[in-house]
Structure 1
């Protein structure tokens, strides 16, 4: 999964725990710059901002 390609797009993320987040992907952080060493993306919803790690993501799709 290439999270870098999501930056600037409206996306819908489903986590491995079944949670669903929808919003704009605001940034990408590579594993080497992250603790723990896992890629992550920033997601801004209508109410909150989240950081979601690649190993927590079950699926990503483009949102409408």
Structure 2
């Protein structure tokens, strides 16, 4: 997956547990900069809430741009 292409976009992700997460992709971290050596993205579902989801590439079943 080319996760860097989703940074700055509104996305819908389905993870390997079939959980659907929609929000703004605010971060991309390449594998060589992650402690677990797997690329990841950050998704903010509620702006201003003060937290984001971090999803690793190996946890993502599907991903799409929704806006």
Q: Indicate the TM-score class for this superposition, using the shorter chain for normalisation.
A: over 0.9
TM-score, with normalisation over the residues of structure 2? 0.89
Q: What is the deviation of 1:35?
A: 1.4
Question: How many residue pairs end up in the alignment?
Answer: 64
1:7-40: per-residue Cα shift (whole Å, max 9, x none)? Answer: 0000000001101100000010000110100000
1:43 maps to 43
- Segments of 5+ residues of structure 1 without an aligned counterpart are none
Task: State the TM-score, normalizing by the size of structure 1.
Answer: 0.93
Please say if 1:59 is aligned against 2:42.
no
Unaligned runs of 5+ in 2: none
- Could you list the runs of 4 or more consecutive aligned residues of structure 1 that deviate by over 6 angstroms after TM superposition? none
